[in-house]
Amino acid sequence: MRIYVHTHGCRLNAAESRSLVETLEATGHTVAHGMDPSVDVAVVNSCAVTNQAESKCRQTIRQIIRTNPGVTLILTGCLAEKNSRECLNFHDRILVLGNSEKHRLVDHIHALNLGEKFSKIIRNSLGNTNFEIPCALHQPYNGRYNLKIQEGCNFSCSYCIIPRLRGPACSRNFKNLIEDATIHARQGVREIILTGVNVGAYENDGKNLVDVISALNEIPEIQRIRLSSIELKTIPDEALSQMANDGNKLVKYLHLPIQSGSDRILQLMRRHYTIGEAKNYLEWLAKYIPGIGLGTDLIVGFPGEMEEDFTCSVDLIQNSFLQYAHVFSYSQREGTPAASMEDRFIDPKEIERRSKILRILTREKRRQFYEKFVGTEQEVLFENKSRIGFPGYTENYIRVIVKGFNEDLTNRLERVKLIRNCDDHILGEVVH
């Protein structure tokens, strides 16, 4: 069959879709790079973390059906888990797969009767059983690889629907994930990104996150190991020791989703730290691991957020060791405690105003951080060439662009002198 896979949402969804694509190719299917009338089955791996994410998924589905009205549609991911019955109305040939069934996608495709009109839901309970993922790559791969090591979350943040859609925390079989990383490294992957809902909670057969990092360090082809977003109080001290060690492949970068600079809002969110603890931790990290890249997520417009609460978030960006923040507008998720809180309504124009202020501040903080490294030499792992040159990233996640270089830098780790700060990137020159 000719199959198109479209992914929305987080890095974890991207990791799952990549595994699905590799399994489809290994079982003889052709994976289309875009949607067209020749596609037999379109798979949408969806997101439901916000209203905007859901809207984008629906838009993609409508576009797929307009392009190919006769296509068989498989919807999986968090929107399929959240609104399975509503999703049946999207198309007259649709299979809705809950997150527990996503890993069996190929089996479900083999059971399809193409051309038959049907509406079907397959969902099962989301358990806490540790899991394995097929390792099926048989061709070169020259990008950074999102390695799924963990699933689900046991935290109960009042705004978050993800534990309901992905279940309690569980971990991937240790040997299985190391085999996966080894296969991809031998096929060209140079950077592994450890991905999950709550990666700091990884635990399997007596192994934790530190053991995963140590085992990946032993794979010679891997040059970098990166942690995806990780909760503040779940990072093992030994992992930070690994990060501080220049001989370790774990890069000096952490994305810590703090969510608000206000203690009052953090308490309403059911977060597990105070803003004082968060700031002190950021300061300690910056001193313990010089040059570390530190980023965060901030939610604007949480129910009851007053101007003084917002001012605390402004202060967090201005007066901490953070270099950037991803800014999100609060999105009400039915079934979460925050959805039933009093004082829920905040004028959307006010949320937009606050968000704009934070984004301006975070751009300035990023610019200041970049400026510190102008004139230095850094190791840069390059990606595919763009229209303006070869983009790549330093270990602390500074975006670098090299122009006018005659050789192909794709997927190469090169020493680069950082020449000029352009705010969202630094121009660099390869050092021979």
- CATH 3.40.50.300 for the 126-251 domain, yes or no: no
Tokens of 182: 């080894």
pLDDT tens across 62-97, in order? 999 999 999 999 999 999 999 999 999 999 999 999
For residue 202, give both structure tokens.
């990884």
For residue 125, what pLDDT is reported? Answer: 80
Q: Does domain 377-430 have CATH number 2.40.50?
A: yes
- pTM, two decimals, is 0.94
pLDDT reading at 114 higher than 90: no
**CATH superfamily placement of domain 2-122:** Methylthiotransferase, N-terminal domain (3.40.50.12160)
At 126, is the pLDDT very low, low, confident or very high (cuts 50, 70, 90)? confident
- Provide the percentage of residues in the chain whose pLDDT is more than 70: 100
With a pLDDT cut of 90, the percent of the chain lying above it is 91
Instruction: Note the pLDDT of residue 107.
Output: 92
Structure tokens at 369: 């951080």
Instruction: Count how many Cα atoms sit within 13 Å of the Cα of residue 63 in the half-sphere of its side chain.
Output: 13
The region that residue 334 occupies, defined by phi over 0 for left and psi between -120 and 50 for alpha, beta otherwise, is beta
- Domain segments of the chain: what residues? 2-122, 126-251, 377-430
Locate 422 and state its tokens: 């352009």
Express each pLDDT in 208-238 by its tens digit. 999 999 999 999 999 999 999 999 999 999 9
Query: What pLDDT score was predicted for residue 343?
Result: 74
Structural contact between residues 169 and 191, judged by C-beta atoms closer than 8 angstroms: no
pLDDT tens digits along 159-194: 999 999 999 999 999 999 999 999 999 999 999 999
Q: Are 275 and 262 in contact (CB under 8 A)?
A: yes
Identify the pLDDT of residue 116: 85
Minimum mean pLDDT range among 53-62, 121-130, 345-354:
121-130
Whole-angstrom Cα distance, residue 165 to residue 99? 7
Rounded Cα gap, residues 314 and 278, in angstroms:
14
Q: Is the pLDDT of residue 356 over 80?
A: yes
